[in-house]
Amino acid sequence: MLLIREEAIERMRRDHDGMIDLIRRIESVCGQRSVVENCSGCVSDRREFCHSNVDQLVRAFVEATLKHNMMESLYMEDGVPEAHRRAHNRAHMVIAEQLKGIRVVLSADGNCVQAIEGIDNVLHALIAHFVDYDQQLERYLLEPAS
Ligand SMILES: [Fe+2]
Ligand SMILES: [Fe+2]
């Protein structure tokens, strides 16, 4: 049982690394963020290339993050105090809302600059989440509450 729990922690950490990696890739697509506030201020051939890249990477990131959070919710079904579970799931919902907002921005006017800004906010939210919730979950996984 402990081995399975250790594997769960490994999996969580691997996912976290993958999520951060995707964010880095999204952020590196646009080199004009300090210059323009909207993709409409960018040259048009560059714009198209950017948009399909950002769109694809954001899609992958949103999917990976939602799937990851769902996996953690499953891990919480056993040996995790109810209070933590509830707060942790609520925190996942806040992140899901942020992600939804980014998808809306991308599909509405395709402004990647704004979408990447949203991704940057998610990055900060995720880093805080790892410390505030996921580290605690890891401790519960190693030492389940009876
Ligand atoms: Fe996590
Ligand atoms: Fe989490």
Phi, psi of 24 (to 5 degrees): -60, -40
Q: Which two tokens stand for residue 24?
A: 């880095």
What's the CA-to-centroid distance between 135 and ligand 1, angstroms?
9
Q: Give 90 Cα–ligand 1 centroid separation in angstroms.
A: 13
Q: Do the Cβ atoms of 85 and 76 come closer than 8 Å?
A: yes
CA of 43 to the centre of ligand 1 (A): 38
CA of 140 to the centre of ligand 2 (A): 13
What residue type is assigned to position 79 of the chain?
A: G
Distance CA 117, CA 36 (A): 12
**d(CA 26, ligand 2 centre) in Å:** 21
Domains of the chain: 2-29+44-142 (1.20.120)
Q: Can you list the positions of beta strands (E) in the chain?
A: none
Give the dihedral sign, CA 121/127/133/138: positive
- Output the CA torsion 67→72→78→80 (10° steps): -150
Q: Look up the pTM and report it.
A: 0.92
Q: And the tokens for 146? A: 């009876």
CA of 39 to the centre of ligand 2 (A): 33
Asked if residue 118 lies in contact with residue 101, where contact means CB atoms within 8 angstroms, the answer is: yes
Residue pair 133/85 in contact by the 8 Å Cβ criterion? no
Model confidence pLDDT, tens digit, residues 79-136: 899 999 999 999 999 999 999 999 999 988 789 999 999 999 999 999 999 999 999 9
- 2-55 pLDDT tens trace: 778 999 999 999 999 999 999 999 999 988 888 888 888 888 888 888 899 999
CA 60 / ligand 2 centre spacing (Å): 18
Ligand nearest to the CA of 87: 2
Task: State the Cα–Cα distance between residues 127 and 60, nearest whole angstrom.
Answer: 19
